[in-house]
């Protein structure tokens, strides 16, 4: 179950911490920002809360306290802190940027947010001296950080990348700038992965201790199923800073479905280097599920729900996984219903939708919802290989419940993602699904016939395309009055004629089918006699069972 964490948790300042404007602030702020970098949300919040209480009017302290609240998914709390500062007359660029950051997360007016960003940049640009005309690097980074936050629908990542790159130009030694540029590029889609890697690499060139940048490169390669490169950069991240927990979590999620023992080793390291919060509790319970310890995992989930993690929505995912594995689909579905009702849409992961689709398809009243969830899972999934697996698994599930038309659509989407011509196996699956669809609805015949025709065109020397074309035509012509199967049968017999020893009996049966049609339905006696003659041509020897049958028909 890959963690699709919000971007805010991946982009706080450097360990080395050439501290972003902290010269006049308390040491506790510096400590708090370091904790943000390490993704220790609770610890960072506690430290920065203390700093904020001690200096409630210091703009930089206020900004970073707000960032700690955002790391803890408390958007409302951060908004309140920034608004309180403005109401108390702390009209400072740091507060403007923080306020605009919140507006982006609330999906407010992006142009209004950008206006605040630009005002902050302009207000902090040097107007005299040797740096005249130079923007404040730390404000540029705060703007880039805001746009890097959230999913791809939040903020303007190109704008954020531009500001980060400008910061890198203003300060050629700053490693946070290229790092944030890379995060923004990742938000723009997989086609920007190369640019993101370039920026992360630059960050490590500027500061070899940037474990987060190595980690990010490793994640890119993981999404591409390039394990060798993934391992190389995750190893570099650990070597750069063994206390950086996200690397261990990435390894855990990589191995959780492959080797649960290896996954456990990385989970232990993740827990040891993280705050002991609801997230770590969740991953421990998740491991228990992966290890087949379903009752222990359920017990852990119940403990979480009864304690400080009662509002941690992913507890319901734990319930759903365990109940489903224990054979209680009703309880599993109830847990998923609660999860989707309570969790913010932007926090739902591809794996959540994929699991829900697999479960909901078993309930007739929920099958349309299951189809929607497949699409949502595919939208969030960044690895094309995983998308193909998702579509193929969904197609198989749809076949089991007789949703053959939707099955074909997902099969076609899986084929399209491969970027190559359909294989014979692809055509076989589609042709079978199309034939099954005609069984349910004869109006699907035209689509089925076109799929079978494409199958035959692509693999003319294989029998299955002809077989499914005949079968679909027969299903669509229930009472045999339309003669839809005539042309497909003749086409199939042309194929059979290439190997009479193998297909002689099949041709004979086909001609008999046509004989019955022409005699009983079309009332074309001449054609019926012609079919009889062809049957005799196949078995000319008098006295054989087939010859006698044709002669007496």
- For the stretch 500-518, pLDDT in tens is 999 999 999 999 999 999 9
Terminal CA-to-CA distance of the chain, rounded, Å? 65
Give the C-alpha separation, 468 to 360, whole Å. Answer: 30
Half-sphere exposure of 486 (CA within 13 A, CB side): 15
Q: What is the pLDDT of residues 232-246, one digit of tens each?
A: 999 999 999 999 999
The closest of 10, 514, 510, 7 to 212, measured between CA atoms, is 10
Q: In which region does residue 16 sit, left (phi positive, over 0), alpha (psi from -120 to 50) or beta (all else)?
A: alpha
Report phi then psi at 228, rounded to 5: -60, -50
pTM (2 d.p.)? 0.85
- 419 contact partners, CB below 8 Å, separation of at least 6: none
Are 139 and 120 within 8 A, CB to CB?
yes
Give the C-alpha separation, 186 to 184, whole Å. Answer: 5
The predicted pLDDT at position 15 comes to 37
Are 179 and 186 within 8 A, CB to CB?
no
Q: Residue with structure tokens 């456990």?
A: 264
Q: Residue with structure tokens 């689909």?
A: 329
The closest of 354, 349, 346 to 8, measured between CA atoms, is 346
The predicted pLDDT at position 120 comes to 98
Q: What is the mean pLDDT of the chain?
A: 94
The predicted pLDDT at position 190 comes to 87
Give the C-alpha separation, 106 to 100, whole Å. Answer: 10
The predicted pLDDT at position 4 comes to 40
The predicted pLDDT at position 27 comes to 64
Give the residue ranges of the chain where pLDDT is below 70: 1-27
């Amino acid at each position: 179950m890959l963690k699709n964490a919000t971007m805010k948790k991946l982009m706080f300042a450097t360990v080395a911490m050439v501290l972003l404007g902290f010269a006049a602030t308390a040491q506790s702020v510096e400590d708090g920002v370091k904790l943000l970098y390490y993704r220790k949300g609770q610890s960072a919040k506690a430290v920065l809360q203390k700093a904020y209480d001690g200096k409630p009017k210091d703009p930089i302290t206020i900004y970073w306290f707000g960032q700690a609240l955002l790391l803890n998914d408390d958007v409302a709390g951060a908004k309140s802190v920034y608004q309180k500062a403005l109401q108390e007359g702390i009209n400072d660029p740091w507060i403007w940027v923080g306020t605009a950051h919140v507006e982006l997360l609330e999906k407010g007016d992006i142009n209004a947010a950008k206006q605040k960003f630009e005002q902050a940049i302009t207000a902090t640009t040097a107007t005299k001296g040797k740096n005249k005309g130079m923007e404040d690097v730390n404000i540029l980074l705060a703007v880039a950080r805001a746009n890097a936050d959230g999913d791809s629908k939040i903020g303007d990542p190109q704008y954020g990348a531009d500001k980060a790159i400008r910061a890198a130009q203003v300060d050629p030694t700053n490693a946070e700038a290229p790092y944030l540029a890379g995060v923004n590029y990742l938000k723009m889609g997989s086609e920007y992965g190369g640019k993101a890697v370039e920026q992360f690499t630059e960050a490590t060139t500027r500061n070899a201790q940037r474990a987060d940048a190595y980690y990010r490169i490793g994640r890119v390669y993981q999404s591409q199923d390039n394990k060798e490169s993934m391992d190389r950069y995750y190893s570099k991240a650990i070597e750069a800073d063994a206390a950086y927990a996200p690397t261990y979590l990435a390894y855990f999620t990589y191995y959780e479905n492959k080797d649960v023992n290896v996954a456990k080793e990385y989970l232990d390291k993740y827990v040891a280097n993280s705050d002991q919060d609801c997230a770590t509790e969740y991953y421990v319970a998740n491991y228990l599920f992966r290890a087949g310890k379903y009752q222990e995992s359920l017990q852990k989930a119940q403990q979480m729900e009864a304690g400080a993690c009662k509002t941690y929505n992913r507890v319901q995912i734990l319930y759903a996984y365990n109940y489903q594995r224990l054979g209680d689909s009703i309880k599993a579905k109830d847990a998923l219903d609660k999860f989707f009702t309570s969790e913010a849409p932007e926090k739902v992961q591809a794996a959540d939708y994929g699991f829900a689709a697999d479960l909901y398809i078993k309930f007739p009243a929920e099958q349309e919802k299951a189809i929607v969830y497949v699409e949502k899972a595919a939208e969030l999934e960044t690895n094309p290989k995983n998308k193909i697996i998702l579509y193929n698994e969904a197609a198989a599930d749809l076949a089991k419940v007789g949703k053959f038309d939707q099955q074909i659509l997902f099969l076609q989407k899986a084929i399209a993602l491969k970027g190559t011509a359909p294989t014979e196996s692809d055509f076989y699956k589609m042709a079978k699904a199309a034939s099954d669809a005609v069984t349910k609805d004869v109006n699907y015949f035209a689509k089925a016939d076109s799929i079978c025709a494409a199958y035959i065109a692509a693999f003319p020397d294989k029998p299955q395309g002809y077989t499914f074309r005949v079968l679909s035509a027969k299903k669509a012509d229930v009472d045999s009055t339309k003669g839809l199967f005539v042309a497909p049968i003749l086409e199939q017999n042309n194929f059979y004629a290439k190997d009479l020893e193998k297909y002689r009996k099949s041709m004979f049966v086909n001609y008999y089918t046509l004989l019955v049609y022409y005699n009983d339905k079309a009332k074309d006696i001449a054609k019926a006699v012609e079919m009889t003659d062809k049957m005799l041509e196949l078995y000319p020897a008098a006295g054989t069972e087939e010859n006698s049958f044709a002669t007496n028909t």
